[in-house]
Amino acid sequence: MKRPSVPLVLSFLALVFSLGGSAIAAKRYLITSRREIAPAVLRQLARRGRRGAKGPTGDKGPTGDKGPTGDSGAPGLDSAPWVVANADGSLLRASGQGVSVAKLAGTGTYDVTFPQDVVQCAFIGTIGLGEQGGSIVPPGMITVSGRGMTTDALFVQTFNSAGVLTDKPFHVVLVC
């Protein structure tokens, strides 16, 4: 069996002495009855006064005036615009009127236009079919960014798992 190192032994001894000192201090300075408190200290505590019994609860006051109406809240998630597009760029479905998808020149490149300003929104995109058919799209990636020179469109690119631009179906949601 290997012998313990000197630092380990010293740290163990320091721990024993520190805990032992606390135990001695607690035993020596712990107050267990009023007789152990100096009479002068007891007089000072008594001068601070005693708290009396709690009185009865008073009557309810009159109701105040109605405050001003608050500002309207932000729209909830059920109003977040979204789009589901096929790999050929055709629109499968969308959250409302005025949403369009266009396949741009080149493979895996799309333009998605919304009927609102998207500059202050977060863009969330994912690869995936829009039908409930049980088919699974092969793994891939998607990038979504604001479309340059306009405030109401997104630039979407889809890639295969090797990072090569590939036409893939996708879903995009705006959170504004």
Type of residue found at 18: S
In angstroms, rounded to a whole number, what is the distance separating the alpha carbons of residues 128 and 143?
14
Q: What is the pLDDT along the chain (176 residues), one digit of tens a residue?
A: 677 788 777 777 677 666 666 666 666 667 777 777 788 877 877 777 666 678 888 898 899 899 899 888 776 555 789 999 999 999 999 988 889 999 998 899 999 999 999 999 999 999 988 877 667 778 899 999 998 889 999 999 999 999 999 999 999 999 98
Helix, strand, coil % over all residues of the chain, rounded to 5 = 20, 25, 50
The token pair at 137 is 């799209």
Q: In terms of C-beta density within 10 A (0-12 exposed, 13-18 middle, 19 or more buried), how is residue 65 classed?
A: exposed
**Which pLDDT does position 39 carry in this prediction?**
83
